[in-house]
Structure 1
Amino acid sequence: MDLPKSHLMKDIHILSLAFLLIFLAYGAAQNLQSTLNTEQDLGTTSLGILYLSFTIFSVFASLVVRNLGSKNSLIIGTTGYLLYLAANLKPNWYTLVPSSLFLGFCASIIWVGQGTYLTSTARSHAKDNDLLEGAVIGDFNGEFWAVYALHQFIGSLISFALLSGGKEGSTNGGTLLFVVFLCVVAFGAILMCFLRKGIENSKREYEHSGSGASEHSSLKSLCRSLTSALSDVKMLLIIPLMAYSGLQKAFVWAEFTKYVVTPVIGVSGVGSSMAAYGAFDGICSLAAGRLTSGLRSITAIVSFGAFVQAVVLILLLLDFSITSGLLGTLYVHFLAALLGIGDGVLMTQLNALLGLLFKHDTEGAFAQLNIWQSATIAIMFFLSPHVSFEAMVVIMLAFLCFSFCSFLWLALKVVKTSLSSTSE
């Protein structure tokens, strides 16, 4: 049975708000790991383990989401974030490492569930209202990623408010912060329960229950899905851009704040620069989503985002900087804003592109996105202490050029015929 338009729109509002609540807490906790848990590099090591776990479990995430359904996957996925924040109340190797491993699993299914749920809802909304599917997918992704991007801004403000009043060496501020974050994530988990079951997933689950498919056949289906994805020319050409999208996120967290922000405006400037990053990420996500209507618009928007990120990397590589005063502070925030614009473009357009190109294996496509993003994030965390900042910028710029050329080849040569029926 078709759901009314208002119900479908309400589901996207609920999904966006739930992710905002969950990730404003988790994002702020992640930003504080290298500051609060410095003994034997516990904080950064746990993050590396988390994203390595995320990468491994993402291989199986599509199978889990197919069997659980996207809504159940979203609800179960929130438990990992609750456990991780609870572990930060008493951080040590016996609490943070196991919770990081479990969060890697939960993150893999919550993100595949999110991509699958949003895309199926957008398709149903487009069909019910006789709208262009690409435009609706872009619009829904724009709203989701715009709201989600606010997590950096709001989480940073909450962290600053609760930690700034604490005394030197006191853990009371941190304890209160993580208690508040636990409550926020719990509320986000409750919101997930009000989502309607994914429409396309409901049909698929009914078909599977009638066929009596065995667990063995499900594993065979997973292997077939992974091998077909890696043998699909369209997926192979998108993978470099997926990997770069993860690399640029980790670059902001691990390199930009340490080597660009802190030397100019100090540690206290990290929060405000990340707030600027999150604010422009959100604005750009909303604008990019509104402008998305098909492959041509995606190509134009991604080209703009790649250009913006290239400008930032070239400025950093040329060591063009203002070292002090108000101009220095404004310059750093300007660079952070440009990086936020680039991230907003990549996240909205990659999700819209996958929704358009891989209609028959949506879970598998979003699992590939998770695999490549989390793998590059994990690599960045582990390699960051051993690679100079200048070398990292060169790697980023080279990878950006390669991934953008691969994407252009996809847009100009491969997808043209497959999307001819929906071309603008």
Structure 2
Amino acid sequence: MEASECNKEDALDLKEKKSADLRDESGNEIHGVELPKKPRMSKKMIMKNLLVISIAFLLLFTAFQSLQNLQSSLNKEEGLGTVSLSVIYAFGIVAGLFLPPLVINIVGCKWTLAASMFCYVVFIAANLYAVWGTMIPASIIIGTGAATLWAAKCTYLTNIGAWYAEMTNSSRDGTISVFFGVFFMIFQTSQVWGNLISSTVFSQKIPENLNISDDVLEKCGAAYCPSDYQNNTNLDRPDMTKIYTVCGIYLGCACLGIVTIAIFLDKIDHETDGSQMSTKQLLGAIARHFYNSKYQKLLIPLTMYSGIESAFIAGDYTRSFISCSMGVWNVGYVMIAYGVADAACSLIIGRLVKYTGFLPWFILTFILHGGTLITLLVWKPNPDYLILFYLFAIFWGIGDAVIQTLVNALYGYLFTHKPESAFASYRLCESAGFIIAFGYSSFICTDIKIYVCLIFVTVGTLLYCVVEAMQRKQTKYKVDI
């Protein structure tokens, strides 16, 4: 992850090297933190780069997120789809421990983004011939690339957000939250375009009889178990011609995202906090951050939930509720509603959080996700009540917008003196959530998965409230940038 020591003093003489005495979340002084040079970008350039990186991710994840949503339905034999997704995040953890600062220090943030995006192209191509021998190696590659991709993105946005706040004399944490909100607003529309592509292609061939017996419907929803798909024609794999068409379109989108980064994104010249460290030293630094930070420990369940809830909507809601009762061709249409809600709320939340703070939004997420999960436990999905499939997806999208936008911004706000180690820890915890959720997806029934989600969202919200209380007590020690 690209380094930027984000704490700054407006009165610094930028012609000289200065250091600042800051305080961590415990109120302890952090001496000798070297402050970054004044940015060479104008406000117009900063906004341009925000749009460029957002559009590039939109193109890339139009392909990947929609393909991820389909893995549990397209590649369900022996759990190939969900196991491959679990491998992605497992290798994301391993790579995230040491690759991001090292890679970015060597090739720079811009080219780290471009190279990492190419790893996603490999995975999309593997779906053209989805067998264990292609999917697992491709999952290893994309997992490695994802670690550097998201670390570079988080630090890039944190840097330009902090710069913009300094140039406009506005709140640093509020401005960073707005930048993350704009990014995720654009990024989450990938759910719309990618799912529209898949549903349009797959719906070209609609079965003559869409009726499904009550006996089969009884085994959908929370009662669904991985072994039940053999007796349900709604879960049959689409024709290979359609799969080739979808993957071909997705490959084009991903390649266009790489070109967007390569041509239009400006470089930012900073070194990482691992630039003078060996891999062993860097791992030690990350481990110390993880061990010493009280905030980090308390945020583990909430950060893991960001992975678990994303895996649930992509791997379990799509298969157990949508595909099981209405067919795989309807997955995209329902997920469009999820994507629209997610994108719209990402922008709104990013703008409002500087006035409301983080707490009300995390409470809202707890209510929406918790209520939806409890309802899904008792609801028997039925195609006659189509609106409910969309309504649950919308509620989940609103909550996901909070989780994805504000947890990122929260890490940038709480851990400004060492953003690289903090974001590496964030990715580690989030990836652990993905691994757990995708790892057991093909082996346990959906009701158990719902209970797991309920536990994590409840514990995560409660512990975040503790962080909020601790942070308010430490307000007097903060450096107002």
Q: Give the alignment's TM-score, normalised by structure 2.
A: 0.80
Partner residue in 2 for 1:185:
254
Partner residue in 1 for 2:267:
197
User: Where does 1:265-304 land on structure 2 (aligned, <5 Å)?
Assistant: 265-293=326-354, 297-304=357-364
User: Where does 1:5-404 land on structure 2 (aligned, <5 Å)?
Assistant: 5-68=43-106, 69-165=108-204, 170-193=239-262, 194-198=264-268, 202-204=269-271, 213=276, 216=278, 219-293=280-354, 297-317=357-377, 319-320=378-379, 323-325=382-384, 328-404=385-461
Q: Distance in 2 between matches of 1:181 and 1:95?
A: 17
Maintained 8 Å contact 1:241/1:403:
yes
Partner residue in 1 for 2:210:
none
Q: 3-state SS of the aligned residue for 2:204?
A: coil
Q: 3-state SS of the aligned residue for 1:334?
A: helix
Once the two structures are overlaid, the 10-residue window that deviates more, 63-72 or 299-308, is 63-72
Q: Distance in 2 between matches of 1:321 and 1:103?
A: 36
For residue 303 of structure 1, report the CA deviation from its aligned partner. 1.4
For residue 372 of structure 1, report the CA deviation from its aligned partner. 1.2
Q: 3-state SS of the aligned residue for 2:456?
A: helix
Amino acid at match of 1:323: N
Can you list the C-alpha shifts for 1:57-89, whole angstroms capped at 9, x where unaligned?
222244335524322221111110111112222
Matched positions, count: 411
Can you list the C-alpha shifts for 1:196-240, whole angstroms capped at 9, x where unaligned?
122xxx2336x998xxx4x63x53133123222332001111111
Can you list the C-alpha shifts for 1:250-302, whole angstroms capped at 9, x where unaligned?
111222223333455443332221111111011111111011217x6111221
Q: Distance in 1 between matches of 2:91 and 2:440?
A: 17
**In the superposition, relative to structure 1, how do residues 167 and 408 fare at CA in structure 2: closer, same or farther (>3 Å)?**
closer
Maintained 8 Å contact 2:306/2:403:
yes
Q: Distance in 2 between matches of 1:90 and 1:322?
A: 32
Q: Unpaired segments of 5 or more residues in structure 1?
A: none
Amino acid at match of 1:192: I
**In the superposition, relative to structure 1, how do residues 150 and 64 fare at CA in structure 2: closer, same or farther (>3 Å)?**
same
For residue 40 of structure 1, report the CA deviation from its aligned partner. 3.8
Maintained 8 Å contact 1:264/1:323:
yes
Q: 3-state SS of the aligned residue for 1:70?
A: helix
Q: Distance in 1 between matches of 2:274 and 2:422?
A: 20
For residue 371 of structure 1, report the CA deviation from its aligned partner. 1.1
Amino acid at match of 1:380: A
Amino acid at match of 1:353: L
Q: CA RMSD in A?
A: 2.4
Q: Distance in 1 between matches of 2:103 and 2:298?
A: 25
Q: Give the alignment's TM-score, normalised by structure 1.
A: 0.90
Q: Radius of gyration: which is bigger?
A: 2
Maintained 8 Å contact 1:80/1:106:
yes
Q: Distance in 2 between matches of 1:251 and 1:394?
A: 11
Maintained 8 Å contact 1:234/1:415:
no
Greater share of helix residues, 1 or 2? Answer: 1
Amino acid at match of 1:150: T
Q: Distance in 2 between matches of 1:38 and 1:398?
A: 27
Q: 3-state SS of the aligned residue for 1:165?
A: coil
**In the superposition, relative to structure 1, how do residues 93 and 394 fare at CA in structure 2: closer, same or farther (>3 Å)?**
closer
Q: Distance in 1 between matches of 2:79 and 2:457?
A: 30
For residue 41 of structure 1, report the CA deviation from its aligned partner. 3.4
Q: Unpaired segments of 5 or more residues in structure 2?
A: 1-38, 208-237
Maintained 8 Å contact 2:195/2:331:
no
Maintained 8 Å contact 1:77/1:110:
yes
